[in-house]
């Protein structure tokens, strides 16, 4: 099964996300939550694509549940037809399962490497490929990033984890 995205990201310390990648395996509970698209930089795939994706309403999101299931809404589909040849084929919503797994490693610039973790999203529709994203965060996941090409070209979609709304009557807004 081909993984789309995160596997090409790692191993490259000059990648913009290398220092932000999560270097320990989070629990399913830590990873659970709603992630919404926050940063788009994919104009090397197609001129004007950033604006097209940013304009998408509702905003693309990924909801990860404690039981390993996922709901993906309005996801920008950017399949690789080989040799990092990406194409935008539209937005897709689907149900999936998710797996937390190592997605590679990053170097500290010297001789030490650290394993980094991410998420494989396996759509229940058989015609869709697995999508792999890397977790970002210092101690627990606070985002997900889908990196295109080899990571050094700074082409990515970044999803930010939303904080749960304060419970009614707590006085927080």
- 123-139 pLDDT tens trace: 999 889 999 999 999 88
Q: Distance between CA 173 and CA 171 in Å, rounded?
A: 7
| pLDDT tens by residue, 11-22 | 444 555 677 888
Asked whether residue 91 is domain-assigned, the answer is: no
pLDDT at 1 over 70: no
Enter the pTM of the model.
0.84
Q: Which residue has better confidence, 120 or 171?
A: 120
**Residue 149 located in a structural domain:** no
What is the number of residues in the chain?
Answer: 173
**Domain hosting residue 50, numbered range:** 1-65+101-131+156-163
Q: Write the CB contacts of 167 (distance below 8 Å, at least 6 apart in sequence).
A: none
β-strand pairing of 3-5 with 33-41: unpaired
> pLDDT, tens digit, for every residue of 66-112?
999 999 999 999 998 888 889 999 999 999 999 999 988 887 777 78
| 136 found inside a domain | no
* 139 falls within a domain: no
Query: What pLDDT is attached to residue 107?
Result: 79
Number of domains forming the structure of the chain: 1
- From CA 100, how far away is CA 26, in angstroms rounded? 8
Q: Where in 108-139 does DSSP place strands (E)?
A: 113-123, 130-136
58: in domain: yes
Q: How does pLDDT run across 27-77, given as a tens digit for each residue?
A: 999 999 999 999 999 999 999 999 999 999 999 999 999 999 999 999 999
Residue 77 included in any domain: no
Q: Quick check: is 172 in a domain? A: no
d(CA 131, CA 107): 24
Chain centroid offset of residue 78 CA: 12
Q: Going by DSSP bridges, is the β-strand pair 130-136/3-5 parallel, antiparallel, or unpaired?
A: parallel
**33 within some domain:** yes
């Amino acid at each position: 099964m081909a993984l789309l995205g995160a596997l090409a990201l790692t191993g490259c310390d000059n990648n913009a996300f290398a220092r932000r990648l999560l270097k320990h395996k989070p629990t399913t509970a830590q990873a659970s939550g709603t992630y919404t698209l926050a940063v788009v930089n994919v104009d090397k795939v197609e001129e004007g694509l950033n604006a097209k994706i940013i304009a998408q309403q509702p905003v693309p999101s990924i909801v990860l549940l404690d039981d390993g299931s996922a709901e993906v809404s309005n996801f920008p589909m950017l399949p690789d037809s080989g040799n990092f040849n990406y194409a935008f084929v539209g937005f897709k919503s689907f149900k999936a399962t998710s797996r937390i797994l190592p997605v590679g490693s990053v170097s500290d610039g010297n001789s030490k490497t650290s394993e980094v973790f991410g998420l494989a999203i396996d759509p229940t529709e058989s015609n869709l490929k697995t999508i792999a994203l890397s977790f970002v965060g210092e101690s627990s996941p606070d985002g997900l990033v889908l990196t295109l090409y080899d990571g050094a070209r700074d082409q990515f979609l970044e999803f930010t984890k939303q904080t749960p709304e304060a419970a009614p009557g707590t006085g927080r807004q």
